Amino acid sequence: MNDFFKKFSKMYVDAIQQDINLEDLKKTIEMINACSEKGGKLIIVGNGGSAAIASHVSVDFTKNAGIRSINFNEADLLTCFANDFGYENWVKESLNFYADKNDLVFLISSSGNSMNMVNAAKYCEDTKLSLITLSGFDKKNKLRNYGDIKFWVDSNEYNIVEMTHHIILLLLVDYIINTK
């Protein structure tokens, strides 16, 4: 058991120290501040565990950092749009209905190959919506082809990737709170 905990603890520390690019964090803060100053909102979306991260971070941005933020985790929205437009298009269609020109979109996908996230990223590119992507696993995943900033975690372990994404997003929240 000790070996397991040591191994995974090291994997988390390595991911945080090696995969979080400080310049990208700084640029992301600038994009968040510009979005907020122009009256835009953050839109944070993920699948599964990444959806839970999106919910947590969205609430923290709104309540604690004073930055308007939403996510698309309502079961009725997700199931309606997936039913009408296909699961691979529900995020893109949600953005079509809810995103405004000054918004900043965050798409979270551990694998970077979830087609609903990839199609949403294409939509952001086509409509000139500002986009931050968070992915992991294969360095050549599809989501890494999109975004103004592309956070990537060099791991094939879901929990390492997801927790590093969570840390990245909460670092942004905490930085904004502590620099007001």
- pLDDT tens-digit map of 96-110: 999 999 999 999 999
Residue 64 is part of which domain span?
Answer: 2-178
Domain count, the chain: 1
CA distance linking residue 65 with residue 170, whole number of Å: 11
CA distance linking residue 45 with residue 8, whole number of Å: 27
Q: Are 177 and 151 in contact (CB under 8 A)?
A: no
Any idea what the CATH number is for the domain that residue 132 is in? 3.40.50.10490
How many angstroms from the chain centroid is the CA of residue 64? 18
- The structure's pTM equals 0.96
Non-local (6+) Cβ contacts of 31 within 8 A are 104, 130, 132, 148, 149
CA distance linking residue 85 with residue 117, whole number of Å: 14
Q: State residue 5's pLDDT score.
A: 87
Per residue in 111-147, pLDDT (tens digit) is 999 999 999 999 999 999 999 999 999 999 999 999 9
Per residue in 33-71, pLDDT (tens digit) is 999 999 999 999 999 999 999 999 999 999 999 999 999
What are 45's strand-pairing partners? 107
Q: Are 165 and 52 in contact (CB under 8 A)?
A: no
